[in-house]
Structure 1
């Protein structure tokens, strides 16, 4: 079994071999949010997504590939904010999970509210119709028991 350094070298070699077999059209097929889809790249190379971030040689090779694809016009250019925050770690947002849950719950509640409003309107129209029928029957003297 290979140790970590050997496995890292194998992943890097597999990436280089994969990169050599791809065309610009192939790369266009796996673009996601302005960069190559890491999951698709990892599947094609035969490594885990974490290897793309944790293996320094592989990470640099992937960044170099994306930069060259940007120069060729295959990938869109980086925005100013993306260039500035490229090397900085993302700040952790501990409220993101709560906001996501709240947004999902809100959308479910809003959908339920719309359904209930439609049902109330339907029942009110039926009640109005039966109220008129009840008035007519009571005027005619046919009150139900």
Structure 2
């Protein structure tokens, strides 16, 4: 590919994708389905490119979109859910819920461990208090006053 300018590379990959696409059967496409769409990684290997070509090369991007739409119509690919149809190019809203959940789970585990330690310490101190209470009672009966 060395010696090709950007436009020539775009055309090269667009042609390579078209040739590859025409040589594939529905069974071939089924072998590379990943998360409800064709695996960009597998297609990139097949045409000798990076996966970015499917996002950055408008000709390849449109051709792939048309291919996947056709495969969905034929039942090779699963249908898109409504949210995927309506939000194709919109950025996703950031949610820190997952991070917050992880931090809460970690904090809960720490608090439970601390609670167990404190319960064990309270039990130990109650036994000591009981022992010293009996000792104090015995000394009082004997006439000694503990300080």
TM-score range, shorter chain: 0.5 to 0.7
Superposed, 1:89-108 pairs within 5 Å as: 89-91=90-92, 93=94, 95=96, 99=99, 102=102
CA root-mean-square deviation: 2.6
2:67 is aligned with 1:65: yes
Map of 1:32 onto structure 2: 34
Identify if the C-alpha distance between structure 1 residues 94 and 2 changes in structure 2 by more than 3 Å, giving closer, same or farther: farther
Which 4+ stretches in 1 moved above 4 angstroms? none
Alpha-carbon deviations, 1:40-99, whole Å to 9, x = none? 11111111111110000000000000000001110011111111112x233263748x83
Point out where structure 2 has 5 or more consecutive residues left out of the alignment.
Answer: 114-147
1:43 aligns to what SS in structure 2? helix
2:52 aligns to what SS in structure 1? helix
1:91 aligns to what SS in structure 2? coil
Point out where structure 1 has 5 or more consecutive residues left out of the alignment.
Answer: 114-145
Looking at structure 1, the residues matched to 87 and 99 of structure 2 have their Cα atoms a distance apart, in angstroms, of: 24
In the comparison of the two structures, how many residue pairs are matched?
A: 106
Superposed, 1:79-98 pairs within 5 Å as: 79-86=81-88, 88-91=89-92, 93=94, 95=96
Looking at structure 1, the residues matched to 95 and 21 of structure 2 have their Cα atoms a distance apart, in angstroms, of: 37
TM-score (normalizing by structure 1):
0.64
Map of 2:53 onto structure 1: 51
TM-score (normalizing by structure 2):
0.63
